[in-house]
Structure 1
Amino acid sequence: MELLECTLTIDDLDSFVTDLGEIGDDHDVTIQAFDARYVADRTHLERAVEFADRAIERDENVARDRAVEILLYAAGRRQIDRALEMGVGEGENRAVVLVDSEDGDRDAERNALETVSELDAVREQTSTLESVDEERLCTFFDITDAEREATDATLGDLVGERVALLEVEK
């Protein structure tokens, strides 16, 4: 899995998603763009990929598209419309673009990532996972103050738990 942390300026979301799909097809990889404000850390996305692949392997996936299945797990939700809040939108976005090859082809991932980075929508490559919006993450993933006070787990750990719970709650 490769990640591109960047600022995106998206004029036409449908066109941007089409571009990502075409790049993914050209390089035989899955590409999904996330609003970085909803991503706890790299591990959050690694777990989402792991659980999405497991669901697909077991024929328990909700979405037909692997990128959407990854989005569902990252969001900790089974409803696609609710998970889409975690995706990017039109306008300026602090983003994380995930590129993953099902068969572990790192060259394909890097080549696809380079192609994504050349899209007009990519304004600048910049760290977007360095600082997290704790309030937004807690609200989106329904993590209460009481839950945070009851454990010494990091916020990333608690978000990771939500990703794992989606597997259990099927």
Structure 2
Amino acid sequence: MELLECSVTIDDLDSFVAALGEIGDRHAVTIQAFDADYLADRAHLERAVEFADRAIERGENVARDRAVEILLYAAGRRQIDRALEMGVDDSEQDAVVLVDAEDGDRDAEREALEAVAELEAVRERTPTLESTDATRLCAFFDITDAERNATDASLGDLVRERVALLEVEK
């Protein structure tokens, strides 16, 4: 799995998503773009990919598309409409673009990542996972102050727990 942390300006979301799809098809990789404010850390996405792949292998996936299944797990939700909230939209924003080859082809991942980085919408590479929006993460993942105060687990740990709970709650 490769991640492109960047700032983007998306004027036409459909065109941007289509370009990601074309790059993914050309390099035989899965590509999914996220609004960085909804991600806890790299491990959050690693866990989502792991669970999405397991669901697909078992025939328990909700989405037909692997990228959407990854999005569902990253969001900790089975409803595609609600999960889409953590995707990118028509605006300027910090983003993380996940590129993953099911067969583990790291060269294909790197080549696809570079192709994504060259898209017009990508303004610059910038660390977007270094600082998290705790308020947004807590609201989106329904993490209460009481829950945070009752444990010494990090916010990232609690978000990854939500991803894992989706697997359990099926």
Paired letter, 1:34:
F
Q: Aligned residue for 1:152? A: 152
RMSD over aligned Cα atoms: 0.3
Return the TM-score normalized by structure 2.
1.00
Write the distance in 2 (CA, Å) between the matches of 1:15 and 1:32: 14
Paired letter, 1:157:
D
Residues 28-68 of structure 1: CA deviation (Å, up to 9, x unaligned):
00000000000000000000000000000000000000000
C-alpha displacement at 1:93, in angstroms?
1.4
Write the distance in 2 (CA, Å) between the matches of 1:134 and 1:10: 24
C-alpha displacement at 1:116, in angstroms?
0.3
Paired letter, 2:82:
R
Identical columns (%): 83
Q: Aligned residue for 2:122? A: 122
Paired letter, 1:92:
E
Write the distance in 2 (CA, Å) between the matches of 1:85 and 1:150: 28
Residues 88-122 of structure 1: CA deviation (Å, up to 9, x unaligned):
00010100000000010000000000000000000
Write the distance in 2 (CA, Å) between the matches of 1:48 and 1:143: 18
- 1:8-157, aligned counterparts within 5 Å? 8-157=8-157
Unaligned runs of 5+ in 1: none
C-alpha displacement at 1:84, in angstroms?
0.2
How many equivalent residue pairs?
170
Write the distance in 2 (CA, Å) between the matches of 1:80 and 1:129: 23
